[in-house]
Chains A and B, each alone.
Chain A
Amino acid sequence: MSHVTSAVRAPLITGGKTYADVTEDISRQVEGKPTREWTIAFTISVIVLLYGTACVFWTWWEGLGVWGLNKTVGWAWDITNFVWWVGIGHAGTLISAILLLFRQKWRTAVNRAAEAMTIFAVLCAASFILMHMGRPWLAYWALPLPNTFGSLWVNFKSPLVWDVFAISTYFTVSLVFWYMGLIPDLATIRDRARSKVSRYIYGAFAMGWNGSAKTWARYEYMSLILAGLSTPLVLSVHTIVSMDFATSVIPGWHTTIFPPYFVAGAIFSGFAMVQNLVLIIRVVFKLEDYITIEHIESMNKVITLTGSIVGVAYLTEFFIAWYSGVEFESYAFINRATGPYWWAYWAMMTCNVITPQLFWSRAIRRSIVWTFVLSVIVNIGMWFERFVIIVTSLHRDYLPSSWAMFHPTLFDISDYIFSFGFFFTLFLLFSKFLPVINMAEVKTVIKSSSEKLPVSVSGVAKGERVANPTFNKDVE
């Protein structure tokens, strides 16, 4: 009736699911006891988190001298990790906001997990901001408060202060967007809950949702505005992060290409992380009918696009360094490729530019194993990208007398490990206590893009794909 079904597109939801099946399949892991796989993964994450927390406290106790920083390389692993984690967060907002505006229905199966990933990734990024302050108890100095020594304010002209505003806004808006998206599903779990405690807790978080037509209409309107707000927000965050570098005068940093290049790189790494997470989720929680090969292929296409943009950006940087005629700039880039950190540069080029091009092959794009491996490679490559930008630019600047090398210490490495423990502990808690797929949104795409297609008016049989790109009206 009102639904239009594509006869040429493969179904987004397989297995002939009904509304009740969706609720049952996705609520299962929330309502049941933790699985063995979950318990093992959670135990490992908590152990890693505890070890990392001890190392972070030791870093603060002893001071940042325990890191491998020196007078020339003042930013290294901590800022690399910060930029990497912020970048990873971008895919969540992109999936939930930009793809919502573009009416991409495949986003419904992965948006919840991707948004959760965003929030936890931004928290990990924030932990490095706190860490590199050395005295985290004074973190509030970054806020626009007049300090106690007089009416001296933060410097609003500094991109570091812009970062404070950008990241705190990004985190807050992403959290609100994610939480508002959870409300209808929390109500579903509340209404199915058997124990009083679950009913009370999920009921409190469901905020009294009753699914009335008026509430749904307002809810959709609000979601659309939030998506409209989040779309420029996601671009602004990494643009501002890139300005931390671009507004300086360090060779290799002072370039106008940084904002779009950083945003593309962020989406690139974010999608790679989403792939890694959803590939695990679909197997562990048996959600293969919801997160199908079509979803994985769609995300791989985004990875191919953004990876190619990143590749073009690398080449453009090199070209401009030569074309500008600035010898410091030319040297910075030749040094990246052939200097003491050549291995990091070529690891970046291999992981980010060369290997993702394999996704042009349909067979690789639709392969679970290839997708998982290439996504891990992309994440490694993007970490190296940030390392290359930061360390190779700082270790040799205008004064050869201050040239130095950066070598990470045990604490540099352990503090990075901390962020993994933190991230996976939070993500596993999320996957146990909240539905990992947005039930309400998936239910809306069942009719128009599920395997359970009714016979169309043109006589195309259920689920059959035809070469003629015509659209057929459902017959109920």
Chain B
Amino acid sequence: MSDVNGNGKFLVGIYDDDDVVLSAVKEVKGAGVRIQEVYSPIPIHGLDVALGHPRSRLGIAAFLFGLSGTLTALALTFYTEGFDWPMIVGGKDSYSPVVYVPIIFELTVLFCALGMVATFLISNGMGPTVKPLMYDLRTTDNKFAMAIDLSKNNIGEGDIEQILRKSGAAEVNIKQF
């Protein structure tokens, strides 16, 4: 079973080095083993590609949230100064968009940043009450863990362990959720 419902049996290969785990992913996949996920204390460039994860679409979310900020600022300034209570201050027209550039810019950035961060948290299932399923507590310190869901692989447990060890795993542990 997957780690979402948390009742599966996993084989966890523990690695000491980020370069080793990156090449191990290619080796293990090449041996026909399906990898659940890799956990690390640092970002490893190219790991998501090696694991076959699709490219993040956070940029699209950021753009759309930014756009909503721009439109909100335009609507706010237009409604207040152009329609609800027109005022001529400093010889400028009651509605003079150039003067509102700082407001438009700030609201664009604000909406973009907050919206994107919220999207990031939601898409990763993160929140203050979330209890993460940790395959090994050392993965937030100095170890790298490769989790293999046994129920999703047709290869035997012993063979997978061999493959993991051959790929450079310092330890192979069993983790049951």
Contacts and interface: CB of A to CB of B under 8 A. Distances in A.
Chains A and B form a bound pair: yes
Interface of A: 1-3, 18-20, 23, 144, 146, 151-159, 161-162, 165-166, 169, 172-173, 176-177, 180, 184, 187-188, 190-192, 203-205, 207-222, 225-226, 229, 232-233, 236, 240, 243, 439-440, 443-444, 447, 476
Given A23-B142, A213-B40, A225-B58, A1 B48 contact: no
Contacts of A214: 37, 48, 51, 53, 124
B41 interface: yes
Interface of B: 17-20, 22-23, 37-48, 51, 53, 56, 58-59, 62, 76-77, 80-81, 84-85, 87, 89-90, 92, 96, 99-100, 102-103, 105-107, 109-110, 112-114, 116-117, 120-121, 123-134, 137-142
A221 B103 contact: no
Contact of A222 (B41, B51, B116, B131): B116
A157 B89 contact: yes
Nearest to A440: B42
A217 B47 contact: yes
A180 B19 contact: no
A224 B51 CA distance: 22
Contacts of B37: 212-214
Contact of B121 (A153, A172, A207, A236): A207
B45 A2 contact: yes
A461 to B, nearest CB: 21
A151 to B, nearest CB: 5
8 shortest A-B CB distances, which residue pairs? Answer: A208-B130, A19-B142, A217-B48, A210-B132, A162-B102, A165-B106, A153-B80, A216-B43
A212 B141 CA distance: 13
Contacts of A476: 17, 19-20
A319 to B, nearest CB: 28
27 contacts: A19-B142, A20-B141, A153-B81, A156-B100, A157-B81, A157-B92, A169-B109, A180-B120, A184-B140, A191-B140, A207-B127, A209-B126, A211-B140, A213-B39, A213-B48, A216-B48, A217-B43, A217-B47, A218-B123, A225-B59, A226-B117, A229-B112, A233-B109, A236-B102, A443-B41, A447-B18, A476-B19
Given A157-B89, A158-B89, A208 B131 contact: yes
Given A20-B141, A188-B140, A211-B41, A165 B47 contact: no
A165 B51 contact: no
Contacts of B134: 191, 210
A29 B157 CA distance: 43
Nearest to B103: A165
A207 B47 contact: no
A192 B134 CA distance: 13
A20 B87 CA distance: 63
A217 B121 CA distance: 13
A213 B44 contact: yes
B162 to A, nearest CB: 22
